[in-house]
Chains A and B, each alone.
Chain A
Amino acid sequence: MRATGSSSRSWLSVSSILGLLLTAGAASASLCVWRQPDADIAGIFGSGSYKTVFTDISDSLDRKIEKRLGFALDPDETQFKYFPVFKGTERVGTVMTHAGKGQFGAIEIVTAVVTGDSGPVIKEVRVQRDREKAKAALRSKEFLGQLKGMSANDDFRMTNDESGLKPAAKGAEKASQAIATAARKLLIVYDELGRP
Chain B
Amino acid sequence: MKKISLFVAALAALTMAGTSLKVGGAIYPRYALSEKQSTFELMGAEAILQGQVTSETRDIMYAALQVYTGGIMSGWFKGIHFGEAYAMFPLGLSLPTIKVGQAVVPFGLLETYDIHTQIVQTTYVKSLGLRLDPGLGLTGVLGRTRYALWLSNGNGPDRMDNDKGKVVTARVAPGFLLGDAELTLGLSGLYGSLPYWSLDSLANFPKGPQSYAVKYRLGLDNTTDWGPLTLRLEGIAGKDSSLSHPLVLGYYAEARYALVRWLEVLGKYDGWHANGGRANNLSAGINFYPPNTTAYEVQTTYQIDMMKTGAGDESNWKFITQLVVRI
B180 touches A42 (CB 8 A): no
Q: How far is the CB of B21 from chain A (nearest CB, A)?
A: 4
Give the complex CA separation of A102 and B260 in angstroms.
9
- Residues of chain B with a CB closer than 8 A to A131's CB: 225, 227-228, 230, 258
B57 touches A51 (CB 8 A): yes
Which of B57, B260, B294 lies in contact with A89, CB distance below 8 A? B57
Q: How far is the CB of B182 from chain A (nearest CB, A)?
A: 6
- Residues of chain B with a CB closer than 8 A to A89's CB: 56-57
**Interface size, B (range):** 35 or more
A155 CB within 8 Å of chain B: no
- The stretch among B27-35, B45-53, B310-318 that forms the contact with chain A is B45-53
B36 CB within 8 Å of chain A: no
B1 CB within 8 Å of chain A: yes
Q: Mark A73-84, 1 if CB is under 8 A from B, else 0.
A: 011100000000
B261 CB within 8 Å of chain A: yes
Which of A48, A52, A129, A135 lies in contact with B59, CB distance below 8 A? A52
User: A39 with B144: in contact, given A13-B8, A103-B261 (CB under 8 Å)?
Assistant: yes
Q: How far is the CB of A160 from chain B (nearest CB, A)?
A: 22
Q: Mark A124-150, 1 if CB is under 8 A from B, else 0.
A: 000001111111100100000000000
- Residues of chain B with a CB closer than 8 A to A19's CB: 12
B55 CB within 8 Å of chain A: yes
B141 CB within 8 Å of chain A: yes
**Interface size, A (range):** 35 or more
| In the complex, chain B residues 56-72 whose Cβ is within 8 Å of any chain A Cβ | 56-59, 62
Which of B8, B24, B141 lies in contact with A17, CB distance below 8 A? B8
Give the complex CA separation of A30 and B293 in angstroms.
7
A26 touches B12 (CB 8 A): no
B202 CB within 8 Å of chain A: no
Please list the residues of chain B having a beta carbon within 8 angstroms of any beta carbon in chain A: 1, 4-5, 8-9, 11-12, 15-16, 20-24, 48-50, 52, 54-59, 62, 92-94, 140-141, 143-144, 177, 179-182, 225-228, 230, 258, 260-261, 264, 289, 291-295, 326-327
Please list the residues of chain A having a beta carbon within 8 angstroms of any beta carbon in chain B: 9, 12-13, 16-17, 19-21, 23-27, 29-30, 36-39, 41-42, 47-54, 74-76, 86, 88-89, 99, 101-105, 129-136, 139
